[in-house]
Chain A
Amino acid sequence: MKSVEIVAKTKEEALELALKELNVDESKVKVEVLEETSSKGFLGLLSVNRVKVRVSIKEDIAQKAVRFLREILVNMGIFAQVEMFKRPGYVMLNINGDDLGKLIGRHGQTLNALQYLVNLAVHKDTDEEDRVIIDVAGYRKRREENLKRLALSTAERVKRRGKKEVLNPMSPQERRIIHLTLQNNKEVVTHSEGEDPYRRVIIAPRNSVIN
């Protein structure tokens, strides 16, 4: 984190000098007062004020997330590149490299743990709300496409047989993809049953619910 320490007569003056030096505006920095001394001189005629402040440029969530993720990967002994994309409402981090299967884990378990911990860490001292989404070599994207296909083919079978079907347990994000894929389907309805991590989506014929 880039920062400067400035001594001046007042806090305002110190801040102004610091902002000039860092070449940013006030909304992008954190200000800490390190020392503050004021001594009233003889009869208040000669007063000396001295304020020492540290002004640091605040990292935003995206920068924090990239830095933290890179540190985690180094400590896991994984050599990979991290790309960052800012999107409205969220930050996308894509990890690319060789042999990243262990970073995904069974059903994306490790990847989800990684994403969860990075989100907790970067949201700790901020009111920024953008979520961080982490993907490994396009895994989430492929998984999403597979889930959409699964939703559509299961819905087709449910419609043909007129019998409900229960899918395998999925994470909330995965269940969301199934629900969204079928939300406007005229033949079937979806809902979830059970407790995480075993919560499952059920796809049922629409008319069976109405009756």
Chain B
Amino acid sequence: MKELVELLAKSLVDHADEVYVRKEESADTILLEITVNKDDLGKIIGRKGRVIKAIRTLVWACAPVEKRVMVELAE
């Protein structure tokens, strides 16, 4: 899942080499936090959050059922 988020984020931004995804896992949750260059924040969020929403939808489609998976963007 981390690799999926990395792949998607890199495909959207201008500074692909500055994309970093941090994974934090607990017993019932997984947090995937995306860090990108400040200039690329808008590209990951999209108009009305449409892009980040689509990323979440894809991640949730392949997420383990027993865990809550969150995809967030580091500010």
B7 contacts which chain A residues (CB < 8 A)?
Answer: 71-72, 75
B11/A68 in contact, CB under 8 A: yes
CA distance A76 to B8 in the complex (A): 11
CA distance A129 to B1 in the complex (A): 30
Asked if A177 lies at the interface with its beta carbon under 8 angstroms from chain B, I say: no
Number of interface residues of B (CB under 8 A): 15
Closest Cβ of chain B to A110, distance in Å, is 5
Asked if B55 lies at the interface with its beta carbon under 8 angstroms from chain A, I say: yes
B55/A78 in contact, CB under 8 A: no
Stretch with Cβ within 8 A of B (4 or more), from A50-58, A82-90, A112-120, A144-152:
A112-120
B58 contacts which chain A residues (CB < 8 A)?
Answer: 72, 76, 110, 113-114, 117
Asked if B62 lies at the interface with its beta carbon under 8 angstroms from chain A, I say: yes
B27 contacts which chain A residues (CB < 8 A)?
Answer: none
B57 contacts which chain A residues (CB < 8 A)?
Answer: 105, 109-110, 113
CA distance A71 to B11 in the complex (A): 11
Asked if B50 lies at the interface with its beta carbon under 8 angstroms from chain A, I say: yes
Contact residues, B5-49 vs A (CB, 8 A): 7-8, 11-12
Number of interface residues of A (CB under 8 A): 20
A117/B50 in contact, CB under 8 A: no
A121 contacts which chain B residues (CB < 8 A)?
Answer: 8, 11-12
Closest Cβ of chain A to B18, distance in Å, is 16
CA distance A72 to B10 in the complex (A): 12
One of A110, A116, A117, A124 near B61 (C-beta < 8 A) = A110
- Chain A contact residues, CB within 8 Å of chain B: 68, 71-72, 75-78, 102-103, 105, 109-110, 112-114, 116-117, 120-121, 124
The 7 closest A-B pairs by CB, nearest first: A121-B11, A113-B54, A113-B57, A75-B4, A76-B62, A110-B61, A75-B3
Extra A-B contacts (11), CB below 8 Å, given A113-B55, A117-B54, A124-B12: A72-B4, A72-B7, A72-B8, A75-B4, A75-B7, A105-B57, A110-B61, A113-B53, A114-B54, A117-B55, A117-B58
- Provide a sorted-by-A list of 19 A–B residue pairs whose CB atoms are within 8 angstroms: A72-B7, A72-B58, A75-B3, A75-B4, A76-B61, A102-B62, A110-B57, A113-B53, A113-B54, A113-B57, A113-B58, A114-B54, A116-B54, A117-B8, A117-B12, A120-B11, A120-B51, A121-B8, A124-B12
